[in-house]
Amino acid sequence: MEKTFWLINVFFITLITGLTAQNINKEQSSEQLSLWYEQPAKAWMTEALPIGNGPLGAMLFGGTEIERIQFNEISLWSGDRMPIKDDLTEEDMGAHQAFGDIYIRLGHDFNKVTNYKRSLDLNTAIHLVEYDYMGVHYVQKAFASHPGNVIVVQLTADKPMAFTGDVWLTDMHDGKITLDEKNKRFYSVGDMKNGFEYESQLQVFTSGEKLKMKRSNQQSSGMEPVPFLGLNFIKSDSVTLILSAGTNFKQDFKSEWLGEHPHAKVTENVDAASLKGVDALLVEHLADYQNLFGRVSFDLGKTDSSLREKSTLKRLQAYKMDNSFDPELEALFAQYGRYLLISCSRPGSLPANLQGNWNNSNLPVWAGDYHSNINLEMNYWPAETANLGECHVPFIDYVSSLREVSALNTRKHYGDVRGWTIQTMNNATGLSFWKWNAPGSAWYAQHLWEHYAFGRDKDYLRNTAYPILKEICHFWEDHLVRRADGTLVTPDGWSPEQYKYEPEEGVTYDQEIIYDLFTNTIEAAEVLGGDEAFKKKLIGMREDLLKPAIGRWGQLKEWEIDKDDPEDHHRHVSHLFALYPGRQISVAKTPELAEAAKVSLNARGDESTGWSRAWKINFWARLGDGNRSYKLLRNLINLVDETKTIYGNSGAGVYSNLLDSHPPFQIDGNLGATAGYCEMLMQSHADEIQLLPALPSAWPEGSVKGLRARGGFEIDITWKEGKLTDVVIYSESGLPCKVTYNGKVWESKTKAGKSYTLNQSLKR
Ligand code: FUC
């Protein structure tokens, strides 16, 4: 099926100068962009609300008797740092660790509290708790400042001397907690017995003078509100807390991952923030956060006002039970993924793990690790399209940091090969555990290329991305097997996580990811020039790779041998990598394979784990079926409270705090879903920008502003009655631009820094 495009010869372009990303989005109000609840959270996983600044993350409960603020630092890991043994165990790999909690005891009996509301405003990244108690109106405001690397909590009231209670800090390990009584600062200092040292400091400000230290004989476990060492305040006008935490983790294999003790840095953060004060910190926080968050807006339609007034929990219940039409909740969920990524992935720290940076356990499920066979990659699917390129950087830095250690591991396992790859479970220091995932590093490499494809920073491509792409190609040059007929296959592939089958040749998942790696590297070599021989070699090898093929029941084959079971509802759909996030299969260029992908997807079914549903939103968007994507989206915004691990289809969806349930909580489903919205509304993987490629009939009217397309473009799209009405394209890099909608094409040169309004040409 050839798509017939015709070139519009006459089109109208309005040049708007000076329109930049930063001033296009003030369109979704805080009201529309808030999660809110009528009761304090009881359960960490399903109810508490997350804030974070990249390195620090916290979950807030909004308690009135006791408030609990559970916090994390993204580099606090147990386990070993260095690949010391041949057969690593899960214990060697360790796990991401919980750090500690702040508790504030106010003793406001919730039964006597009125007008209670706790909320999280995605526009400002502020968590707010408000209520009335004994004639006093109480407000608790909390935010995580990225510029200051602190978490700030401020309690105020409309009457003086309203606060009497205790505050204390806990530690989830055997750290020592001390209190500098004079300066009202808590310290928790410890080490993980693996070389990693950590420290947190909590500065307390109260207005009353009657502050005293309180000791208890009971040891705090970090889970229960037992003050080991508390600070008691009496009749204070307000309570302000400033927390910072850090470790000596250094993202450098050569230094054995060890840097400075965090004491100086944490002290500096808390001192500087204390000096600044909450108001100045807030101004700084808003400028930083909104610069990222404010770039994109989603208007997917209006929710009925009677529904809009309800709490997030009630809306989720209505969405599930009454099949309510709630496009504002859907837009909120799209933005939540952006909020979460901004809050747990900032340059200078580790990437988002399985739970982003929100973890209350020292034995989190799957170690709270970096899973290479879908999860870590999915976390970063929205990074570029949802206009958060900066938030992609921690993943890229992480990949860079793995090179040497992974090359050692790879040679131990694969023998005499160049380059490197990884296993399925990975920690912060490149310790790899469980099944080898041979194409894992090539999948990571896709992200390095995509960061260039959207951002067009040639220096980055030359100095950071290309050397890594190239060395991963070297791994495949050495590891691929050439058959007698010249075909290149992987010798030992495994389609994740199909336990029934032993490793074998030419598994589709491997072949497609290698194809993607070679394609990206070839394009990178073209951009940079000067590596002709290598480029030619890759072109030849790509040609010889075993390609995706159609099986006996019309499915896209998962293995070379046609053994796919039509009753297989496995959550992984690895053989469709080429459809998304890859670009080898598309409706336009490979229609038969796209059709086969549909057959496979239909057989797999829509019901599966959280992340699997999110992936399927993206697949159907690439297949141009917006209604099916929408169905999957509804399947994902499915209120559940299941917290045990289930691999099948039950318990998957979202918790009342909108965090994705695998189950249990796993952040990939949130982030993959946000990527899905972007793919439904715009795609740019096929050398053109496709507008509204998979618009569902549930969103007849709306707009999306600030999405990012490959080639360095930012796009605003408006539609009515399911049809495009307005498009504005902002060119960041000045590359030529090709836009398509419904078979119509607009092509033009662009100038960097200019915006183009395509009014008539595409709409007719
Ligand atoms: C992969 C998936 C599981 C889970 C785990 C963290 O192994 O198959 O469903 O998401 O990663």
Residue 8 has pLDDT above 60, yes or no: no
More confident residue, 8 or 685: 685
Q: What pLDDT does residue 181 have?
A: 86
The Å distance, Cα 469 to ligand 1 centre, comes to 26
Report the atom number in ligand 1 closest to the C-alpha of 609. Answer: 9
Nearest-CA residue for atom 6 of ligand 1: 366
Nearest-CA residue for atom 8 of ligand 1: 497
Residue type, 126: I
Q: What pLDDT does residue 25 have?
A: 44
Beta carbon of 371 within 6 Å of any ligand 1 atom: yes
Q: What pLDDT does residue 29 have?
A: 77
The Å distance, Cα 612 to ligand 1 centre, comes to 10
Q: What pLDDT does residue 12 have?
A: 30
Report, as an integer, the average pLDDT of 210-222: 50
The Å distance, Cα 144 to ligand 1 centre, comes to 29
Residue 366 has pLDDT above 60, yes or no: yes
Q: What is the DSSP string of 335-363?
A: HHHHHHHHHH--TTSPPPBTTBT----SS
**Strand 744-748 relative to strand 100-105, pairing:** unpaired
Mutational test site, ligand 1, from 353, 355, 366, 649, max ligand atoms within 8 Å of CB: 366
Beta carbon of 498 within 6 Å of any ligand 1 atom: no
Report the atom number in ligand 1 closest to the C-alpha of 647. Answer: 9
The count of other CB atoms within 10 Å of the CB of residue 191 is: 16
Q: What pLDDT does residue 212 have?
A: 58
If you average pLDDT over every residue of the chain, what do you get?
Answer: 93
Instruction: List pLDDT tens digits, range 462-498.
Output: 999 999 999 999 999 999 999 999 999 999 999 999 9
Beta carbon of 354 within 6 Å of any ligand 1 atom: yes
Residue 218 has pLDDT above 60, yes or no: no
Instruction: List pLDDT tens digits, range 621-646.
Output: 999 999 999 999 999 999 999 999 99
Instruction: List pLDDT tens digits, range 580-592.
Output: 999 999 999 999 9
The Å distance, Cα 394 to ligand 1 centre, comes to 21
The count of other CB atoms within 10 Å of the CB of residue 258 is: 16
Q: What pLDDT does residue 209 have?
A: 52
Residue 10 has pLDDT above 70, yes or no: no
Nearest-CA residue for atom 3 of ligand 1: 647
Mutational test site, ligand 1, from 355, 616, 666, max ligand atoms within 8 Å of CB: 666
The Å distance, Cα 240 to ligand 1 centre, comes to 40
The Å distance, Cα 105 to ligand 1 centre, comes to 38
Beta carbon of 661 within 6 Å of any ligand 1 atom: no
Mutational test site, ligand 1, from 93, 497, 670, max ligand atoms within 8 Å of CB: 497
Q: What pLDDT does residue 317 have?
A: 98
Map out the domains of the chain with their CATH numbers. Answer: 34-293 (2.70.98.50)
Beta carbon of 613 within 6 Å of any ligand 1 atom: no
Report the atom number in ligand 1 closest to the C-alpha of 365. Answer: 6
Residue 223 has pLDDT above 70, yes or no: no
The Å distance, Cα 440 to ligand 1 centre, comes to 14
Lowest-confidence segment of 111-120, 255-264, 500-509 by average pLDDT: 500-509
Q: What pLDDT does residue 239 have?
A: 97
- With a CB cutoff of 8 Å and minimum separation 6, the contacts of 500 are none
Joined tokens for residue 141: 């405001």
Strand order of the sheet with strand 34-37?
34-37, 114-121, 126-133, 136-145, 150-157, 239-247, 197-206, 185-191, 176-180
Q: What pLDDT does residue 222 have?
A: 47
